[in-house]
Amino acid sequence: MFNIALYQPDIPQNTAAIIRLCSCFDTTLEIIEPCGFLLDDKRLKKVAMDYLKKSKIMTYKSYDNFLVIKKKTRIILMTTKAKKKYSDFKFKPNDTILFGRESEGVPKSVHDNSYERLKIPLKKNSRSLNVGMAAAITLTEALRQNFNL
């Protein structure tokens, strides 16, 4: 199955919404630290509700630690800086779909270590979607391609 990874997330409520998303689609959430909040933050718990206990969540102390574990995995970076549309890419089970920080995305080294960089096309002069919405759009496309959901 697919994994959703968050690179140093800033906003606990967005992470909580993605926890719920992953729980509903039996997808593992991977969190690359440091986060802009504690993982026991009450704002995270409030939005995640009981899905927190039902979820598969892995944490990595650093991006380097994440790369060591994921060395045989295709890491698909979702970024507004990509040229290729997510719907033009063929997702495969076991892909890890990576999303950057809400405040600043990811550094160049993360771009460079990604198997592919994809974007969700937006209307002109739109900056970006909420990371939870982007995760939902991308995950459902990956599931649709592979499992006819």
CATH architecture observed for domain 3-147: 3-Layer(aba) Sandwich (3.40)
Domain ranges, ordered by start, for the chain: 3-147
Q: What does the pLDDT profile of the chain (149 residues) look like in tens digits? A: 899 999 999 988 989 899 999 998 999 999 999 987 767 767 766 666 676 777 899 999 999 999 999 999 999 999 999 999 999 999 999 999 999 998 889 999 999 999 999 999 999 988 888 999 999 999 999 999 998 76
CB neighbours of residue 52 within 10 Å? 17
How remote is the C-alpha of 59 from its chain's centroid?
Answer: 13
pTM, two decimals, is 0.92
